[in-house]
A and B are shown apart, each in its own frame.
Chain A
Amino acid sequence: MSPERGSVYRGGSGQWAFVTHRITGFLVFFFLLLHIVDVSLVSRPEVYDEVHELYGNVLLRLFEVGLLFGLVFHSLNGLRIVMLDFFPGGVRNEKRALSTVLFLTIVFTLVGGYVIMKPFIDGRIL
């Protein structure tokens, strides 16, 4: 960080990683709350299947790609945080680790997203 910015940890790529980590964690947590409720319907299979079918429509598939992005970013950036906290020399590789996190997040989201959207791409669902 340049000295003009002062000693306050603010505005660098690490700060954006921090913000994104919080937002993705927040959103994944709220999906988890919803997911506990929808899975609880499994004791009545007909109701479960009817509600569960919604996850197959194109809007919710897009939402699932978003969930994949959030999960992968939060996971990989979490590993980066563990590296910074537990390995004293890790901070020297912090920037490179963040680039790797971003690169892998994009790759996994694109590949997984393609598989999730495939029924739509093939025209099997609307």
Chain B
Amino acid sequence: MSASTTTPPPPPPAPTDGATPLQRRPRQNNEAWSWFFMRISGLVLVFLALTHFSLTHIVNDVTDTDARFVAERWDNPLWRLFDWALLVLALLHGLNGLRWIIDDYVRSSAKRAVTKSVLYSVSFALLGYGTLTIVTFSA
């Protein structure tokens, strides 16, 4: 058998970190989780936020939702849980959304650091404050 008819050796594999292009997946990082969190929290919030708004503005007039209304509602721990879930999910969903907006539009890294610090401080302070309101309330 002459050398010209032998099968040429396969070309060296391209550097793909040991995987073919089809097997390669995008690297998972925190941004993938933040993307996923927005979808899941969003789906839950459609129910929580629209129920909350309907009860406080459509079913009841806004002027009827006074301190007594809140006291009667929060007599039931399940309503406290409902309101707390709404508080936590809406704040984190909004915080992450604003983080994306800052990343997109605040171009200087110094300003980005400042606006994000303010955003995180205000959000987590109000998350704690709101939680305290719901947990410590007694009629």
Give A residues with C-beta under 8 Å from B: 22, 25-26, 28-29, 32-33, 36-37, 39-40, 42-43, 45-46, 48-49, 52-53, 55-56, 61, 64, 67-68, 71-72, 75, 78-79, 81-82, 85-86, 112, 115-116, 119
Main secondary structure of the interface of B (DSSP, over half): helix
Give B residues with C-beta under 8 Å from A: 39, 42-43, 45-46, 49-50, 53-54, 57-58, 61-63, 65-68, 70-71, 87, 90-91, 94-95, 97-98, 101, 122, 126, 129-130, 132-133, 136-137
User: CB within 8 A of B58: which of A28, A61, A116?
Assistant: A116
User: CB within 8 A of B130: which of A40, A45, A48, A75?
Assistant: A40
Give Cα A43 to B46, complex, Å: 29
- What are 12 inter-chain pairs, A to B, with CB distance below 8 A? A29-B95, A29-B98, A33-B126, A39-B130, A45-B71, A49-B67, A52-B63, A55-B63, A67-B53, A79-B43, A81-B42, A115-B58
Give Cα A33 to B8, complex, Å: 69
User: CB within 8 A of A79: which of B46, B53, B65, B66?
Assistant: B46
Question: B137 near A72 (CB under 8 angstroms)?
Answer: no
A71: chain B residues within 8 A (beta carbon)? 49-50, 53
Question: B57 near A52 (CB under 8 angstroms)?
Answer: no
Question: B57 near A112 (CB under 8 angstroms)?
Answer: yes
Contacts A29-B95, A42-B133, A52-B63 known; 20 new A-B pairs at CB < 8 A? A25-B97, A32-B90, A39-B130, A40-B133, A42-B70, A42-B71, A43-B136, A43-B137, A46-B67, A49-B67, A56-B61, A56-B62, A68-B53, A71-B49, A79-B43, A82-B39, A82-B42, A112-B57, A115-B57, A119-B63
